[in-house]
Structure 1
Amino acid sequence: MSASGSLTLILIMSIAVLAPLLAYGMSRWVSVPLVIFEILLGLLVGPDVLGWAAPGPVIDVLGQLGLAMLMFLAGYEIQFDRIGGATLRRSGGAWLIALALGLTAGTLLAHGGGFDKGVYVGTALTSTALGTVLPVLRDAGDLRGRFGSVVMAMGAIGEFGPVIAMALLLSGRAPGRSAALLVAFGVLTAAAVVWALRPKATWLSRVIAKTLDSSAQFAVRLVMLLLVAMLGLAQALGLDVLLGAFAAGLITRLVLQGAAPESSGLVLSKVEAMGFGFLVPLFFVLTGIQFDLKALLGGGRVLLLLPVFLLLFLVVRGLPIWWLAPRDLGRRDRAALVLLGSTALPLVVAITTLGVQDGMVEPGEAAALVGAGMVSVLVFPLLALRLRSGGGAGAGSGARAAGREGRARVSEGESW
């Protein structure tokens, strides 16, 4: 690593340490998502402000690993036993409507680029930052209960759907070939799920438990093997590696719960420590460093696009969620669900980066879209938590939420 790369990495890790302190200090007055401090401080030390840090090959690779870990942890958080069929159908329907709206809006805003350019913008508008939203809800105590289950369902489709759309629409291959490769990935993933659900030998549980506090760390190494194997499979099939990371998270939960249910929580805490302690903050800080502030502040159409994109997040992603949200949720909960479902950033960064590399999205437009995602991460979860707490369903109301959960399970089969 070069001297500039070493300095950049030191600055990134310094920001990773400083950001929680700032978030903790601000929590006395307002709860600000940690990711906001990471991105803004990265922007501060980046080339467009202080110029202390600059991306490089090694830093870029670490950033990609951070994004993969973020998607992996988002996939791990999905608990299908808590979601239910009706909620998944509603979530899928809401996302398909959002995709149609997004592609239409993206094409209209393509500025001469037509549908090919509109695909990038439209797909980004349908995403949900589940990996960013879940820690906020977990910290606020809103992840348990019926509301948390619906958020996970809507967020899971909002993460998984755009990745599938990217594989089909942004691969540069014929749609038929892309679909065939996607089906092949699905079949192999399903085979891995079947394997994960099979009863495991008792020796595996003993090895996991015995090495949890030793240098062997067998379970953590097994988790990392599953992650890189799914990343490699996705890459070998020419699909986006984010799809592999998300699938790896789903499979890992099944493997750990089947092989060592009593140790799965501790294993996850070790993986989260590695992810949230190093890789994930590195990705978000690097996002701030790479943010094209000059292009955004250049004025004209680019600057106007930022509030337009922010509004489109609510229209494209939020309106279908409002229409198809389970009817047993109150108005405040549905409004909070709209805000959380419209929160977008990681996939926006990934899709716009791909669009710029392919020459289909201008740097200024990418900056406006990422900037809108940053604002959504800062504003939407805070408003959602305010709505929840104002309705008596936020943190501190866990008993009432747990009581509603049992009744909600009975109403899971409600008509659409």
Structure 2
Amino acid sequence: MDQPGTLVLIMAAAVLAPLLAYGFSRWLAVPLVIFEILLGILMGPDVLGWASSGQVIDVLSQLGLAMLIFLAGYEVQFDRIKGDTLKRSVWAWTITLVLGLGAGILLSDGGGFDKGVYIGTALTSTALGAILPVLRDAGDLKSRFGTVMMAMGSVGEFGPIIAMALLLSGRAPARSAALLVAFGLLTAAAVFWALRPKPPWFSRVIAKTLHSSAQFAVRLVMLMLVGMLALAQAMGLDILLGAFAAGLITRLVLQGAAPESSGTVLSKVEALGFGFLVPLFFVVTGIGFDLEALLGGGWALLLVPVFLLLFLVVRGLPMWLLAPRDLGRRDRSALVLFGSTALPLVVAITTMGVQDGKVEPGEAAALVGAGMLSVLVFPLVGLRLRAGSGAGGGAGTGEEPGPGEGSGPGGRRPDRVTGSESW
């Protein structure tokens, strides 16, 4: 099918997915992304053959992935994850990387070190964008558990991006490290600018154009995102690094210059991301999913439960061991389940591996399939563990969810578990 026809089908799937999620919610809270990927598989070349990817679709899909990582970066709150909790999170992910690379090399099946790096890096990620809405809707984001999960998840989102830049760039590690340092310095300069007081007219323009066709703040956000993507690409780094950094910088700018308008601005950016670009990325992921390779060989299909278990061992075990001591056993188990949820970066890394000829399509499909199962199963079980411990509803902080953070009619993200974008 031609590109315009494929785009129509993709957006039809994006519209149908929330309806399916809403219908299933009376029996089971299935994350929306699962339906988006499954609908993509259904209309893709291995099933109905109605849709296939192309240059325009691929560009839009990459923008969707960048927007997803941007929004995850925006959610990071450094004032809540500093100190001992952040140190434990960094050490936990460092151990995860060692375990992941070891497991990846063992599973490379003669593919060598390069294949092991792709597989191992994919095992180290945490789908922060999938976890935060679930915790927010459960009233748990401001609890002690939510703070620890924010720290572990932030490092689990950012760490693999750094590892990709160092290990999967095809350059010498020393040169990659030098480029990362240079990018970090430029990002630090942008953060310094973001923290500087803005002139009074800046916030006035944001407020005055917030509901007009000018949309100054939204355009500024898009400029920062595109600018950081361009900077990362110009330096030969993965654009996901630029997207994550753009999210961090945007939060500082909006909350420093126009705190009263930042929630509204973010809701508009989320409308663009979750209403168009992000679902397009996941539907296209389904279209490109190699179902035939997964089902055609016994080894690839057997790898799905193996990878699912490895998510728990490689990512979850270090979190269990290094979680703050004030978390009880059930909370540690829930932390392992939430932190082992993975998919967006798994898709990105396996796509790179297949394109570079280092990862077989069946292995990539098995990894993505395991990631889909992790998104479907782990958060649901984690919520049950948290409910069984008598937690939730802001327990541990004495705070009620503030405006824009609850799940009721006044909340900024109603029903994000099932009825809206789960990322």
State the 1:116 CA deviation.
1.7
1:183-198 pair list within 5 angstroms:
183-198=181-196
Q: Once the two structures are superposed, what CA deviation does each residue of 1:21-79 show, in whole Å capped at 9, x if it has no partner?
A: 22122222221111111111111111111111111111111100000000000000011
Aligned alpha-carbon RMSD (Å): 1.3
> 2 CA distance for matches of 1:276 and 1:404?
28
**What are the equivalent positions in structure 2 for 1:74-89 lying under 5 Å apart?**
74-89=72-87
Q: Give 2:43's aligned residue.
A: 45
Q: Is the 8 A contact 1:146 1:404 kept in 2?
A: no
Q: Distance in 1 between matches of 2:260 and 2:399?
A: 28
Q: Which residue of 2 aligns with 1:327?
A: 325
CA contact (8 A) 1:95 1:161 kept: yes
Q: Is the 8 A contact 1:35 1:132 kept in 2?
A: no
Does the CA-based 8 Å contact 1:207-1:218 persist in structure 2? yes
CA contact (8 A) 2:142 2:399 kept: no
Could you tell me how far apart the structure 2 residues matched to 1:59 and 1:152 are? Answer: 33
> Where does residue 235 of structure 1 map in the other structure?
233
1:122 to 110, 120, 123: 120
Aligned mate of 2:2, from 4, 13, 17: 4
Of 209, 213, 216, the match for 1:215? 213
- For 1:229 and 1:404, the matched residues in 2 are separated by 37
- Separation in 2, partners of 1:14, 1:140: 30
- Superposition pairs of residues 8-407 of structure 1, within 5 angstroms: 8-394=6-392, 397-398=393-394, 400-403=395-398
Separation in structure 2 between the aligned mates of residue 8 and residue 391 of structure 1, nearest angstrom: 47
Letter in 2 for 1:403: G
Post-superposition offset of 1:404: 8.4
1:297 partner SS: helix
By how many angstroms is 1:365 displaced?
0.7
Shift of 1:401: 3.9
CA distance in 2: counterparts of 1:377 and 1:24, whole angstroms: 17
Shift of 1:84: 2.2
Please, which moves more after superposition, 258-267 or 146-155?
146-155
Aligned to 1:408: none
Cα distance in 2 for partners of 1:54, 1:141 equals 40
- SS state at 1:81 partner: coil
Name the CA distance, whole Å, in 2 between partners of 1:38 and 1:137: 21
Whole-angstrom CA distance in 2 between matches of 1:115 and 1:403: 50
> In the aligned structure 2, how far is the partner of 1:91 from the partner of 1:209?
38
> SS of the counterpart of 2:191?
helix
- Whether the 8 Å CA contact 1:47–1:289 is kept in 2: the answer is yes
The residue type paired with residue 333 of structure 1 is: D
- Distance (Å, rounded) in 2 between the aligned partners of 1:243 and 1:271: 19
State the one-letter code of the partner of 1:60.
D
* Aligned counterparts of 1:273 and 1:16: Cα–Cα separation in 2: 13
Aligned-pair distance for 1:266? Answer: 0.5
Alignment TM-score, normalising by the size of structure 2: 0.92
Structure 2 CA distance for aligned equivalents of residues 132 and 139 of structure 1: 12
* 8 Å CA contact retained: 2:340, 2:374: yes
Letter in 2 for 1:402: T
Match of 1:56, as an amino acid?
G
Q: Would you say the 8 A contact 1:336–1:384 is kept in 2?
A: yes
Query: Greater share of helix residues, 1 or 2?
Result: 1
Q: State the TM-score, normalized to the length of structure 1.
A: 0.94
Structure 2: how far apart are the matches of 1:21 and 1:402? 35
**Is the Cα–Cα contact under 8 Å of residues 31 and 375 in structure 2 kept in the other structure?**
yes
Partner of 1:318, secondary structure, is helix
Question: 2:128, 2:153 within 8 Å by CA — same for their partners in 1?
Answer: yes
Contact residue 33 and residue 136 of structure 1 kept, 8 A: no
Name the residue aligned to 1:413: none
- Tell which deviates more after alignment, 345-354 or 9-18: 9-18
Counterpart of 2:398, as a letter, is G
* 1:117 to partner: Cα distance: 1.3
**Judging changes above 3 Å, is the alpha-carbon distance between structure 1 residues 219 and 404 closer, same or farther for their aligned structure 2 residues?**
closer
Q: How many residues align?
A: 400
Distance 1:146 1:39 in 2: 33
Provide structure 1 residue ranges, at least 5 long, that are not aligned to the other structure.
406-416
Structure 2 gap ranges (5+): 401-423
Alignment deviations for residues 330-389 of structure 1 (CA, whole Å, 9 cap, x no partner): 222211110111111111111111111111111111111111111111111111111112
Deviation string 1:96-154 (CA, Å, 9 cap, x unpaired) is 00000000000011111221210000000001111122222223332222222111111
Aligned structure 1 segments of 4 or more residues deviating by more than 3 angstroms: none
What residue number does 2:416 align with? Answer: none
